[in-house]
Amino acid sequence: MTEAPKYTTQLQAGLGLVPETSKLLAAWEPGMSGQDLFKFALASGDFPAVTARRLQNVVTEAFRSRYLTDGGAPAKLLKSISKILSRDDFRSLCFLFTCRANPILADFVLQVYWPRYAAGGASVSKADSLQFVSSAVSDGRTTRPWSETTVTRVASYLLGACVDFGLLGVMKAGARPIVTFRITPNVASILAHDLHFRGVGDNALMQNPDWGLFGLEADDVLGELKRLSLRGELIVQSAGGVTQVSWKYKSMEELADGIAKG
């Protein structure tokens, strides 16, 4: 069994960074490294209110880990479709890639946010976040033992990231209200195709934990795929617990063109 990835404090380099991500994607070109992008962004003057040190942290510690993995595949995807997506769809995809790069955020959403939502809870508190991080440290999930100060800071980062990505609202009486957060057809399509092109089989795709970030279980995923079939993007056949998908598009570029044409 593969050991679960260790938690880091990398969220401190930036929480959601959605506006910054949009600007950096506009500047980034395939083949650019994180350091190349930093130098270009610094010289561009598009970040006048950000110090050089802060910009370097944002690019090399946050943007690079989220979007320049797998040969820059996430950045290529977002750059190719950012102009045709709504702001909320773009933010949801930023959320997806940030969770992939930061397992502590993904697990917080899966283990705290969605269970609280499913139980009819109205909010997630600072105490909830502190308990989650403290338990992670006790369970040896962090790269090294964290001090109380670090635990407090990371707990705050988790709540802040959830606010930036539209899962939680403004703090009230020590807690942040849960905001309605739903996957849209475009995001469902992009996620399904992304998993498919990464070599995930049709049945395994249904069980992939990425769907859980949007509160979906396998049956919900099947429903999303069936809705996508009505848009003509794929064909779904499901019987006896076995699902087969015929994929219309052969690349993310083709998918982006299809979404753009509606």
Encode pLDDT of 73-88 as tens digits: 999 989 888 888 899 9
Assess whether pLDDT exceeds 70 at residue 44. yes
pLDDT band at 177 (very low <50, low <70, confident <90, very high): very high
* Beta pairing partners, 245: 236
pLDDT at 72: 92
Share above pLDDT 70 across residues of the chain, in percent, rounded to a whole number = 99
* pLDDT, tens digit, 9 for 90 and up, residues 1-30: 457 889 999 998 889 999 999 999 999 999
Share above pLDDT 90 across residues of the chain, in percent, rounded to a whole number = 74
Residue 34 near residue 60 (C-beta atoms within 8 A): yes
Number of H helices, E strands in the chain: 14, 4
Q: Is 27 left (phi over 0), alpha (psi -120 to 50) or beta?
A: alpha
Closest CA to 14 of 102, 74, 86, 89: 102
Per residue, what are the HEC states of 68-129? Answer: CCHHHHHHHHHHHHHHHCCHHHHHHHHHHHHHHHCHHHHHHHHHHHHHHHHCCCCEEEHHHH
